[in-house]
Amino acid sequence: MNGFRIEDLLHASRGRWRDALPAAGIAEELLDGRGHPCPRCGGRDRFAARPDVADRGAVHCRHCFTRGCEPFPGDGLATLRWWMGIDTRAACDWLASWLGIRVCTEPRPQSIRRSVHARQSVGRNHDFAGFASRCHSAMRPSWWNRLSNRLNLPIDCLRRLRVGWSADDRATTWPMVDDQNEVVGIRLRSMETGDKWSVRGGQAGLFIPTGISNPERLLICEGPTDCAAMVAIGFDAIGRPSCNGAVAMTTRLVRRIGARECVIIADDDAHGAGIRGAESLAAELLAVCRLVRTMTPPKGVNDARDWINAGASHDDVLGVIGSTEPKSLTITAGVVHGRNTSH
């Protein structure tokens, strides 16, 4: 294997696994160190992240990813192998791509190609668009009402996100799409517990409601329900898979649809990960969008959906947007920088 060593990848990923694993499809909420249903085998309270998951990427399941299993749990590469059903080489390739490390490798042997094919076949035969369409068609009026009441979101907004129902998973389905609006993955959400996980073999993509085209202002939220909440009060909005996910995909989408202003609404979490992720995305968006703002809901409100559920109107959100200092590009000695601008 030329171009990098495993040690180099593990060193580069240290401290970043809380972002990498959600990008691979493991829901961020499952990495809090507490017991959760396993996103792979479904066993209740069997899955947990290790205390140092951010540094090492280690998780375990008492049933399908524990002592005696292959791979043996211990670091993020093992986690990727277990979760994606791939070998070490393919896990290294995925991680290098996510880190933005250019890798020079020799052609893969046939055995690795078979491994990747096997991983893809797990995800509903890799026909995510067909699976999403069938699940959407399976929704009944009573289920729409129940989901709407549970999330306190209008049915029409949920329909625009093409939400569906998977009887096999006993969960609602939330399609994730790329910047060309092609379905690349499916997030699942339990109606009973609210637990979230993803269909294996997919990619972490964007939650984009139907009907968005050449928006003057685009709101970029964390997750599909925050997105739906902003759509419900009259904004054009999309959802990211996590606070750090799909940066390149979001940037390409903004360029394609020609949004003139982007407003990134970050969760007001205790560790500040949301606003850091928003700032990182803003730095990339400045290359394709004239005006970019980053903001959080008012103090004491965790996320966009909670904000709307607390009674915020279109004008309330618009007022906070207007009071948030925008960012623009400056060029100094041939170097492009992002900076805040005054009103």
Task: Report the distance separating Cα 50 and Cα 58, nearest Å.
Answer: 6
Q: Judge contact between 196 and 187, C-beta under 8 A.
A: yes
CA 123, distance to chain mean position in Å, is 17
Task: Report the distance separating Cα 199 and Cα 203, nearest Å.
Answer: 9
> Which amino acid, 25?
G
b/e 130-167 (16+ beta carbons within 10 angstroms → b): ebbeebbeebeeeebeebbeebebeeebbbbbbbbbbe
φ, ψ dihedrals at 327, nearest 5° = -110, 155
Residue 270: the pLDDT is 65
Residue 85: the pLDDT is 78
Task: Say if strands 47-49 and 59-61 run parallel, antiparallel, or are unpaired.
Answer: antiparallel
Residue 247: the pLDDT is 93
Residue 102: the pLDDT is 56
Residue 122: the pLDDT is 36
For residue 224, give the nearest of 156, 174, 153, 160 by alpha carbon. 174
CA 57, distance to chain mean position in Å, is 17
Task: Report the distance separating Cα 61 and Cα 82, nearest Å.
Answer: 10
Task: Report the distance separating Cα 226 and Cα 321, nearest Å.
Answer: 16
Residue 327 exposed, middle or buried by CB count within 10 Å (0-12, 13-18, 19+): buried
Residue 229: the pLDDT is 97
Low-confidence ranges of the chain (pLDDT < 70): 1-4, 102-126, 270, 329-343
Diameter of the chain measured on Cα atoms: 62
Residue 4: the pLDDT is 60
Q: Judge contact between 249 and 205, C-beta under 8 A.
A: yes
Task: Report the distance separating Cα 204 and Cα 177, nearest Å.
Answer: 8
Residue 113: the pLDDT is 31
Cis peptide before 71 (omega within 30 of 0): yes
